[in-house]
Structure formats: C-alpha cells, structure tokens
Amino acid sequence: MKNTARLIAILSLSASVASCCQAPKSEGPVYLDDSQPIEARVEDALSRMTLEEKVKVIHAQSKFSSAGVPRLGIPELWTTDGPHGIRPEVLWDEWDQAGWTNDSCVAFPALTCLAATWNEDMSALYGKSIGEEARFREKDILLGPGVNIYRTPLNGRNFEYMGEDPYLASKMVVPYVQEVQKNGVAVCVKHYALNNQESKRHEYDAVVDDRTLYEIYLPAFKAAVQEGGAWSIMGAYNFYKGQHACHNEYLLNDILKGEWGFDGVVISDWGGTHETDQAITNGLDLEFGTWTDGLTMGATNGYDAYYLADPYLEKLRNGTASEDVLNDKVRRVLRLMFRTAMNNDKPAGSMCSPEHYDAARKIAGEGIVLLKNDNDVLPIDLSSAGKIAVIGENAIKMMTVGGGSSSLKVQHECTPLEGLIAAAGDRIVYERGYVGDVSGSYNGVVTGQDLSESRSEEQLIADAVALAKTADAVIFVGGLNKASHQDCEDSDRYHLELPYAQDKVIEALAEANPNLAVVIISGNAVAMPWIDNVNAVVEGWYIGSQMGHALADVLFGKVNPSGKLPFTFPAKLEDNGAHALNAYDPADLSVEYKEGIYVGYRWAEKQNIKPLFAFGHGLSYTDFTYGDAECAKASVKAGSNVIVSVDVTNSGKVAGKEVVQLYIGDDESSVDRPVKELKGFRKISLEPGETKTVTFTIEPDMLKYFDAAKHEWVLENGKFTAYVGSASDDIRTTVQFEVR
Ligand code: GLC
C-alpha cells in the first residue's frame, strides 16, 4: 500500500512539476501570438481566411490604405508618401487635403542631396529620422526611397533619386532601408524599373539590352532588396518588353522574386495596373490607385472594380485562376503586416523633434557641393564682411512644396534668406532679381507666401545690380523650383538652361561685383553660360526644413563643404549620351537606351567630353593631398581580393572631410568597358596637417561585367588599373594590378 501511495505521490508531483515548467499554452491563435515565428503566423492567418477576404487584402480600399481582415482582427495597411518626409493626410478617396492639424512634418533634404554626402552614416541617420516620423504617424509603408538612375538631366524626378552611378546609389540606399524598417515601417523602393523620364511615363516602353539593365539600372534595387532587406517595392508606370512594369514577368517574377529571392510585396504605382490577367500572373501583389474614383463606380464601391478585386474573384470562383497564385500574394501581404502593422515590438516613433531638425541640417551640410571657389570668395568672413546682398527668388520661396507626390506640409521651413539673416543679421539686404513661380499652392498645400511682383524684368535686374554694387559680397540664390517642368513629377524639363531669365541676372551681377557666389537650388544639372565670369558656385539642392541654416553654415564657413556630385553637369545637353544619340523621349514611345552602359561620366570619358562639372566633383575650404596608391599584391589569383591603400593628408588650414573615391578600369577586357567605374568611396575627416590611410578591398565581383549571352557576371583575368582621387576627373594616383 505504502509503495503504491508513494508511487502515486511521485507521479502526481512530477505531473504538477511538468505542468508548471511547460511554456503556458497561449490562449489565442498562432497568428496573434508574437512569440511565434512570422512564417507560422502567416500560414495560420492564411488558413483562416476566406476567398473573399484573401482578395480584399491585395488591393486598395482608399487612396492610401488597403484592407485587413476585420473578422480576424488583422488590421489595415496604411501607406504614405514620400522619400523626403511624411505627406499630409488626404481625404479617404481624394488627392485633396484632409485638413488635419497634426500632420505637419520635418522635410529632410531631397535624396540627391543625401547621395551627394557620399556618407552611408548620413543615409542611416536619414532613414532613422524619416522612419520615426512615419512610425509616429502610424504609417506602415513609406513610399520611398527612389533609386532610378539619372539618365537625362531633364528627368523631372531626378531630385527624388540618388544620381547616375549604380555603385553610389547601391551603397547609399541600404542604410536608409535598414533604418526605416527598424521602426516597423516598410520602405517601398521605387520606381522599379527604368522610370528614367517623366515624359509619357505611363506609355513609353524602355528598350534596354540586358547588360545595361544589369550593370546600370538594377543594382540599386538589388542592393535595397538583398542588402537592405526591403519589405516592399513599387512597380514603375512604363513598359518594359511590352509589359507594364507593375505586372511584368521579367522584372517581377524572373528577376526580383526569382533571381533576388524577394519575399516582400510588389505594390503598383498609383494607376500603374492596367489589366487583371497580367496582374495575376506577372508578380503584382498589392494594387493601388487604379483610376476608379473609389465610391461611385459600380454598385458598391470603386475599389471592388480594381483589377485584383471582383474581376479576380470571378476568375477564382469559376476556376480560371488558381488559388495557389492568390495565396502567394496573400502570404506576402500577411508577411508585410506581421513586419509592420501587427509587429507589437515597434518603437514609438517621433515627429518634428529637435533631433529630426538637427538631422536634416547635418545631412544637408554634408551634401551641399562647392562647385567653384576662385579667389576664395567663399566662405564669407562674417567677422569682417559689411553689407551682404542676397538676390533671387529662391532665397525666399518655400521649396518643401511642389514637385508632385513628394510635396510636403512642413511644421517649419527656414528659407535661404531667413537662414542668412539668422547668421549675419542686418548686414543682409535682399533684392528679388527675377520672378519665377508665384502660385503658392501645391497639392492643396497653401504656402501663404505672397510672391506677387509688379516690377518689370529689367527693373528687377536694375534694382539687384544697384544693390550688388554697394555690397561687400553678393549671394545669388536661384536654380529650379519644383514647379511644373522645373524638377517636377509627371513633367520633364524642356532644356538644360535656367528658367526665368536668371542667366541675365547672374551676368549682370558678375559685372557689378566680383565677390559673387551663385547658389543653384535644384535636383538636376543646369547650364551655366556665365561660369567663366562667376568666381564661386554652390549646388544647394532641395534641402527641406533646414535649407536656410544649412546654406548659411556653408556660405559663412561654419561647415566646411564636403559634398560631391552624384551626377555629371554636362556643359550642354548634347554632351549627355541619351541626348547625343537622340535616344530620349522619342515621339514613338519606344525609348531605346542607345547609350547602353555609357551613362553619365561613363559616356563623357568614353567620348572624351569635358563636363562642366564631373561626377564626384566637390571642393572644400581646405586642401587634400594624396600619397601614392599601393597594392598589397600586384598580382592576385582570380577569386581573391585586391587591397589598395593610399595616404590622404589635410594640407590646408581648416578641418575638413574628403570623399576618397576608387574607380577601376579593366585594361585587357575582351568586351567594351568604360574607362573606369566607381567601385569604392570613403568619407574621412581630417584636421589640418592630419594624415589618414584609406584602404579599399576590391572583391572579385567588383571587377566583373555582365555577360548577357551567358546571363551571368564574368571576371576576365588580366590587368586592371585602380584610380584613386577626389573626383572622377581629379584622379590623384593610380596603381595597376593583375588578376591571374
Ligand atoms: C505617384 C508617384 C509615386 C507615389 C504615388 C502615390 O504617381 O509615381 O511615386 O508614391 O503616386 O502618390
């Protein structure tokens, strides 16, 4: 008896011990259990959804949101523009402003400015900051960044992108993606792919050979997906190989999801979806912005008329569409939900914080490019300067508005004039100089600025010249302004020249005062016919909320400029490959990229064309000298790395940052290759007299070209040259090495 009793006691004890040590069985279903792996949650949620619910979650329900599954407690997904800041709220189904009073944001610098920093730390800071703003506004998907390659200086949206070089764009996009997504907010890298002009953007067919596609136009997207881990991608409007990019078997099924293993969601551009069959089979997962008006088309509402809505449901019900294909789309959308809307570990986010304003100013300060500085006109020494004339409409015009979908409603914008006055006080005297865009309203955001002007063009110039003659220094602030055809979505520029007769103003000012600094605010290269008569020129970009302070920091020397051009400034339009070959925006909608891989500096160097300012160009208030580049081993076995190092010294009088650039040229290639291609860069800070050794590791992949016939990257043995320097046209040292 006793033993039995003891046995029962032991068994009951072990049973109770066992039960208290087991992980408590969670009550709710797996898909709601945070402790479960995402894939298990995806499968569990999918298994519970009806056919109708599956179709509901793969298309929009409003202008910027798509449905969840209310019955299962699966929330909606909310998207927001744009790449430079969080767009103000619009009405449920209109582009019009919703008139909220809590949705003003910080506008960060345009992505051309970020690219011009050549500093991945700035990209990380940018992604963190804008990700926090998106998170605070409870958005799940940020519709950016854009990484389309700068093929023509006329493209209206180049200001939203990262320049002409695939290596620079590939490096600069990754930290932005990673840091945004740490907030539990998905990026939506756009516009995939070949959206390199705005003219006829919904109709043109990009005709590109495979080598050009893989070497130039895909790398930044590939890096965003494979290194950045992007959770969504936005399809472009244009055609490629006869299919719209938003439902394109080559770009989406074969390359993005096939070769790159993308596990996220392909989202259409707004209105980029044009039919049901291709939308089903060619890789589109989430349809937005199709041209219904949301509530009046059809018996219920316009969103059921979407191509991936009732038309798709109909096919699923009558068996002409497979539920397996639907399930793949739904899995991807659910995965995105568990990464964002249903991710309960997300940080809190923040909006309009001092940290965000500081980040905007810091990024801008590292992105502003000093293009020319003869006679040390810059920096203006405030300890001795008297009157400073500031001329130009771009000194006073708000620039955080305009440009299309990236337009913002900011909490605050410091214009150039305000920033210059904040730094230099009443020494600053302003004259308009010219009249550009006086509309004052953009996407329904009203700036409140009254830019009306009664004086004639001649009078404006006369008044500006009169002031310039009496000043110690003159700062002209002009350029483009994101008005239609002046760096704006859906409208390319018509020419390279500055608009609004600015060239006349600049010539007159140069005549009046040699201490003239011209600041160009733009997202594109512009012609500078007056360049020989102007001593100092700065590319100021669209800098956002901190525009004025960041410009003042550089112009008055508080910040030593360290930006480098992310794209070439051609002296004239015909110096650009697409235009030289008459391959931009032809009437017949078939845009053949005849220049192939020879985009930007690749073209200029192949054709021996001297640009106005070269890719990678940017001056400093100090000087940098380079030692001789050295190769650890002059000859390496194929497959091993090549190590190149160089000493860089600050030989000037003030601290500064230098972007040491590494280009590689294949000296014995069996195929045509560019003279050299960017394969490395490092931004270093140097005190006066300080020297640092910069070391680059050249991996085999960086030496390869894409062999379209074999459809693979190929490394040919032979001799290569490493070019190291301060710009693509300012190579300071070279070293040759051989791959056996
Ligand atoms: C626009 C743009 C895209 C934007 C979307 C939503 O047409 O092409 O970049 O994110 O529609 O505004």
Q: How many CB atoms lie within 10 A of CB 291?
A: 12
Q: Which helix (H) or strand (E) holds 662?
A: strand 656-666
Any idea how long the chain is? 740
Query: Which residue type sits at 205?
Result: D
Q: Residue 141, CB half-sphere, CA atoms under 13 Å: how many? A: 27
Nearest CA residue ID for atom 3, ligand 1 = 269
What is the pLDDT, as a whole number, of residue 18?
Answer: 42
| 706 contacts 210 by C-beta, under 8 angstroms | yes
Model confidence at 156, pLDDT cuts 50, 70, 90, reads very high
Please answer whether residues 178 and 142 qualify as being in contact, where contact means their C-beta atoms are separated by less than 8 angstroms. no
For the chain, give the percent of residues with pLDDT over 70.
Answer: 95
Distance from residue 43's CA to the centre of ligand 1 (Å): 31
Ligand 1 centre and the CA of 697: distance in Å? 38
Average pLDDT (584-595) is 94
Show the 3-state SS of 37-63: CHHHHHHHHHHHCCHHHHHHCCEECCC
What integer pLDDT is reported at residue 16 of this predicted model? 46
Residue 207 is predicted with a pLDDT of 98
pTM of the model: 0.95
**Is residue 219 reached through a cis peptide bond, with omega within 30 degrees of 0 on the bond before it?**
no
Ligand 1 centroid – CA 96 distance (Å): 14
- Average pLDDT of span 378-406: 97
State what percent of residues in the chain have pLDDT above 90: 92
pLDDT at 93: 86
Q: What is the pLDDT of residue 20?
A: 44
From the CA of 64, give the closest atom in ligand 1: 6
The predicted pLDDT at position 9 comes to 52
How far apart are the CA of 193 and the centre of ligand 1, in A? 14
Please determine, for residue 263, whether its predicted confidence score (pLDDT) is greater than 50. Answer: yes
At residue 1, the pLDDT reads 41
Asked if 206 and 238 count as a contact pair (C-beta separation under 8 A), the reply is yes
3-state secondary structure of 467: helix
Which atom of ligand 1 approaches the CA of 405 most closely? 12
> What are the tokens at 8?
């029962």
Residue-wise pLDDT tens digits, 209-252: 999 999 999 999 999 999 999 999 999 999 999 999 999 999 99
Least confident stretch, 26-30, 200-204, 254-258, 603-607: 26-30
Q: Which of 244, 405, 489, 492 to mutate to test the pocket of ligand 1 (most atoms within 8 A of CB)?
A: 405
Mean pLDDT, range 719-740, rounded to an integer: 97
pLDDT for the residue numbered 444:
81
Catalytic hit among 103, 165, 269, 285: 269
Nearest CA to ligand 1 atom 12: 405
21-25, 514-518, 625-629, 714-718: the lowest-pLDDT one: 21-25
CA of 289 to the centre of ligand 1 (A): 9
What is residue 293's predicted lDDT score, i.e. its pLDDT? 63
- Probe residue for ligand 1, chosen from 66, 87, 197, 270 as the CB with the greatest number of ligand atoms within 8 Å: 270
Yes or no: say if 581 and 607 are a contact pair by the CB < 8 Å rule.
no
Ligand 1 centre from 270 Cα, in Å? 6
CB 604 within 8 A of CB 614: yes
What values do phi and psi take at 459, rounded to 5? Answer: -65, -40
Smallest CA separation from ligand 1 atom 11, residue: 270
Q: Is the pLDDT of residue 12 over 60?
A: no
Give the C-alpha distances (Å, rounded to integers) separating 529 from 504, 533, 611.
Answer: 10, 9, 13
For the CA of 271, the nearest atom of ligand 1: 7
Q: Would you say residue 21 has pLDDT above 50? A: no
Query: Is it the case that residue 15 has pLDDT exceeding 50?
Result: no
| 345 vs 13: which has the higher pLDDT | 345
Query: What are 103-119's pLDDT values in tens digits?
Result: 999 999 999 999 999 99
Q: Which of 252, 217, 250, 210 is nearest to 714 (CA)?
A: 210
State mean pLDDT over 389-414.
Answer: 97
Q: From 96, 143, 195, 201, give the residue whose CB has the most ligand 1 atoms within 8 Å, as the site to mutate.
A: 143
Closest ligand 1 atom to 143 CA: 10
Specify the pLDDT at position 331: 98
Mean pLDDT (the chain, rounded)? 95
Instruction: State yes or no: pLDDT of 563 exceeds 70.
Output: yes
Tell me which of 95, 97, 160, 269 to substitute to probe ligand 1's pocket, judged by most ligand atoms within 8 Å of the beta carbon.
Answer: 269
> Average pLDDT of 722-728?
98
Ranking 125-139, 248-262, 289-303, 358-372 by mean pLDDT, the lowest is: 289-303
Residue 256 phi, psi (nearest 5): -60, -55
Residue ID of nearest Cα to ligand 1 atom 4: 405
Angle (nearest 5°) at CA 272 between 270 and 276: 120
Which residue has the least CA distance to atom 7 on ligand 1?
270
CA of 737 to the centre of ligand 1 (A): 46
Residue pLDDT, tens place only, 481-540: 999 999 999 999 999 999 999 999 999 999 999 999 999 999 999 999 999 999 999 999
Specify the residue with its C-alpha closest to ligand 1, atom 9.
405
Q: For residue 287, how far is its CA from the centre of ligand 1 (angstroms)?
A: 13
Reduce the DSSP state of residue 86 to 3 states and report it: coil
pLDDT of residue 445: 85
CA of 268 to the centre of ligand 1 (A): 9
Confidence of residue 302 (pLDDT cuts 50, 70, 90): confident
CB-based pocket (< 6 A), ligand 1:
81, 143, 190, 269-270, 405
Q: What does the pLDDT average to over 709-737?
A: 98
pLDDT band for position 443 (cuts 50, 70, 90): confident
Q: What pLDDT does 6 receive?
A: 55
* Res. 568: pLDDT tops 60: yes
Rounded to the nearest angstrom, the distance between the alpha carbon of 465 and the centre of ligand 1 is 42
Is residue 269 annotated as part of the catalytic site, yes or no? yes
Please list, residue by residue across 664-696, b when 16 or more beta carbons sit within 10 angstroms of its beta carbon and e when fewer do. bbbeebeeebbbbbbbbbbbbebeeeeebebeb
Q: Residue 695 forms beta bridges with which residues?
A: 645
Q: Quickly state the pLDDT bin for 61 (edges 50, 70, 90).
A: very high
Residue bearing the CA closest to ligand 1, atom 8: 269
- Closest ligand 1 atom to 237 CA: 8
* pLDDT for the residue numbered 441: 84
Using the atom order of ligand 1, give the atom closest to the CA of residue 144: 10
Q: Is the dihedral of CA 281, 287, 289, 290 positive or negative?
A: positive
